[in-house]
Amino acid sequence: LGTDEWKRCFSVLDGIGIRKAAILGGEPTIVPGIERIVGFILKETRIDLSIVTNSTANMEVLENLVAVGLKRYSTSVDSVIGEGYDSYSSVKSNKAILALIRVKALGIESLTGYLVLNKKSISQVPQVVETLNSLGVWTYVIPFHHGPHDFWENRSQTDMNAFTEEDTDRIADLSQQLLKMKADGIKIANGVSYLEQMRTYAVGLNWHCFDSTSEIRIDADGTLMCCNDIRGKHSSAYSVFDLAESGGLEKFQDERSKDAINCPGCYWPSHYHAAEARISAIAGGGTWSDAR
């Protein structure tokens, strides 16, 4: 979408009650007009915004984003001792640490490192968390491995980075370690129940979202997606602008569930946390929209 269409997109989201959004990619900081889009969202809507980048942005873009009011910055950090889970992740991680230090100096206080957890990265996780914490940065642990040919739809259980049953004890140990670190005040953004359930779902990535997730994924052309992993035959027939119509969100959620129902699962923390928030809003007498 172009700049004006993105502005319209975020006006639609604001209108249907969305209060938190993250712009991610690909790489959002190379989108022409990103500063104008971010400035619009922060000034003209009620949406609390973060940007998720791979830290390849040049400093001028980051300075411009801070100048228009950006307060939250997230980036991928998979390793701090040289060897990432692949060669690209090492390069990204080194750049990310430098970017986090620079962005903090610009005045952004809400900083998060997205840490991919898989068979290759597991041994480094506590060290990455400690390092980020020492910089005042939250860690968000994301269990993930690719599908065939690096494709993100239908992950492969035979991928070399996928956890297997033999990793269960290591995952359980890591889960305990992260829970203790979190209890000790170390900045870990995942919720307690998510960390507790990691031993159950990290092998096989077979947690399942609700029929109607609280999270809406919008592709670069405004098409709605089933979720991070799945474009979805039913979901992708909708665009974000359809949500502006009366009952549009509910119609989309119904169609999305037809795509989700056939999925073998995942352990995306954002979907897990959204489901948890929704459950607690409903249990506390709230409405579905309270959990959006």
CB nearer ligand SF4, residue 49 or residue 227: 227
Verify binding: residue 226, ligand SF4, rule CB under 6 A: yes
Verify binding: residue 271, ligand SF4, rule CB under 6 A: yes
Cα separation of 251 and 14, whole Å? 18
DSSP 56-88: -S-HHHHHHHHHTT--EEEEE---SSS--SSHH
For residue 116, the tally of other CB atoms under 10 A from its CB is 21
Q: What are phi and psi of 70, to 5 degrees?
A: -60, 130
Taking the mean position of all CA atoms in its chain, how far away is CA 31? 19
User: Considering only residues 22, 24, 135, 263, which one is a binding residue for ligand SF4 as defined by CB under 6 A?
Assistant: 263
**Closest separation between CB of residue 232 and ligand SF4, Å?**
8
**Which amino acid makes up residue 80?**
V
Verify binding: residue 117, ligand SF4, rule CB under 6 A: no
Verify binding: residue 225, ligand SF4, rule CB under 6 A: no
Verify binding: residue 216, ligand SF4, rule CB under 6 A: no
Residue 198 contacts residue 179 (beta carbons within 8 Å): no
Residue 142 contacts residue 269 (beta carbons within 8 Å): yes
**Part of the chain binding ligand SF4 (CB under 6 A), chosen from 23-31, 142-150, 160-168, 264-272:** 264-272
CB nearer ligand SF4, residue 21 or residue 62: 21
Cα separation of 252 and 239, whole Å? 9
**Contact string 140-179 vs ligand SF4 (x = CB under 6 A):** ----------------------------------------
Q: Which two tokens stand for residue 237?
A: 């027939």
User: Considering only residues 128, 189, 227, 249, which one is a binding residue for ligand SF4 as defined by CB under 6 A?
Assistant: 227
**Part of the chain binding ligand SF4 (CB under 6 A), chosen from 144-152, 181-189, 263-271, 276-284:** 263-271
Nearest Cα neighbor of 113 from 55, 26, 69 is 55
Helix, coil or strand: residue 150 = helix
User: Considering only residues 131, 214, 268, 275, which one is a binding residue for ligand SF4 as defined by CB under 6 A?
Assistant: 268
Using CB under 6 A as the criterion, which residues of the chain lie in contact with ligand SF4 when the complex forms? 208-209, 226-227, 229-230, 260, 263, 265-266, 268, 271
